[in-house]
Amino acid sequence: MTIGTLIYTWLRGELVGTDEFGNRYYRSKGRALHGRERRWTVFKGPPDPTRVPPEWHAWLHHTEPAPLTERAVKAMPWQKETQPNPTGTADAYLPQGHPLRGGRRAPATGDYEPWVPE
């Protein structure tokens, strides 16, 4: 978080709530910008937008007028927990033939016939 965001949050921010990751969600006190209130997140730790749960994401993007925290408590059995995006980490998906997995792919099966211009 930058010093500017911190000062703006102290002066003009109203705490709306927190999530299970410790992120805090704010809205602006007073006037709206272009007809909508300003909403933002102060992350706990390094800023990582993939750690914003769906119920807070909907509120941040003005899809819902209020956070869906009451609905999140009643999660459906098929819903999975929110996970951060593993891109760039050791847990990232690497398909076969990727240089970090050895760079070897299975040979072509011969069922492909390339187009040759006349």
Q: Which residues contact 62 (CB under 8 A, 6 or more apart)?
A: 36, 39
6 pLDDT more than 90:
no
The rounded Cα 77 to chain-centroid distance in angstroms is: 22
Q: What is the pLDDT of residues 60-110, one digit of tens each?
A: 998 888 877 666 667 778 877 777 788 888 889 988 888 888 888 777 777
Q: What is the pLDDT of residues 9-65, one digit of tens each?
A: 888 899 999 988 899 999 988 777 777 889 999 999 888 888 888 888 888 998 888
CB atoms within 10 A of CB 13: 21
H helix or E strand, kind and range, residue 42: strand 39-42
> Structural domain boundaries of the chain?
3-77
What's the confidence (pLDDT) of residue 70? 63
Residue 44's alpha-carbon distances to 23, 70, 80, 113, in angstroms, are: 5, 22, 22, 54
